Amino acid sequence: MAKKFLFVNRKAPYGTIYALESLEVVLISAAFEQVVSLVFMDDGVYELTRGQKTDAIGMKNFSPTYSALGDYEIKNIYIEKESLEARGLTLDDLQHLVWEDEDDDWAEKDSIHLVSSKELASIMADQEVIITF
Amino acid sequence: MSTLHTINKSPFDRNSLGSCLRVISDSDAILLIEDGIYAATSGTIFSDVVKAAVQSHSVYVLGPDLSARGMKEDGIVEGVNVVDYEGFVDLVTEYDKTNSWL
């Protein structure tokens, strides 16, 4: 039975393993055909910055993987506005993530939604399972 | 659906409590566990935040984690309820889901 899963990402990408671990659990959950949505808040917004280059720190750059989320039917990726603004960032600083709508001739549609804390509260209330990283 | 939010980090170390309070719904409750219990102690720079939180939400703190850290039950912010492990289990069953903030 499919449940509504929400993964809340709150950690920057390379300082700890949380961001990568979250991404792996997200992909596994989606592979098991659960209804998966993502939130990026606090330092989690740094996970989606464009142009990450990790060669010199000897770690895998996993940021290109986010662009595959659409292929896993993940259509809702929520960015908390307050967290983004507090860090001097805008949506232009983040990857542009899309999904393809098969009911609309495979048109590419935005997965990223900029939401306020208040909107996030109701999105979170609507979920069956919340897993925070 | 109602949510029980568990916070296990000191507010002096992480902003988990602040972030939780930013996105909490009216029907939700907070349970402070492990190092999260320091938020419940009175006279800290976070006491006012917790005092405000108890006005709109049920806020609980895990007694064994208070005792383990030498914090007294009579030294916590008024309105915060102390629970034991059985109370913890009751809370988990009382709410539709749990959000464990890291």
User: pLDDT under 70 in chain A at which residues?
Assistant: none
| Mutation choice for A interface testing from B4, B23, B27 by most A CBs within 10 A | B23
What are the residue ranges spanned by the domains of chain A?
4-132
Contact status of B49 with chain A (Cβ, < 8 Å):
no
Q: What is the dihedral of CA A91, A15, A18, A41, to 10 degrees?
A: -30
Contact status of A56 with chain B (Cβ, < 8 Å):
no
**Non-local CB neighbours of B95 within 8 Å, separated by 6+ positions:** B2, B3, B4, B28, B29
* Model confidence, pTM: 0.92
Q: Using CA atoms, how far apart are residues A3 and A10, in angstroms rounded to an integer? A: 22
Q: Using CA atoms, how far apart are residues B20 and B13, in angstroms rounded to an integer? A: 15
Contact status of A41 with chain B (Cβ, < 8 Å):
yes
pLDDT of amino acid A89: 95
Topology of domain A4-132, CATH: Hypothetical Protein Ychn; Chain: A, (3.40.1260)
Question: With an 8 Å Cβ cutoff, are B102 and A133 in contact?
Answer: yes
pLDDT of amino acid A1: 84
Question: With an 8 Å Cβ cutoff, are B1 and A128 in contact?
Answer: yes
Mind listing the pLDDT tens digit for each residue in B33-90? 999 999 999 999 999 999 999 999 999 999 999 999 999 999 999 999 999 999 999 9
pLDDT > 70: percent of chain A: 100
Mind listing the pLDDT tens digit for each residue in A21-44? 999 999 999 999 999 999 999 999
CA distances (Å), A45 to each of A96, A116, B33, B95, in order?
A: 13, 14, 26, 29
Contact status of B24 with chain A (Cβ, < 8 Å):
yes
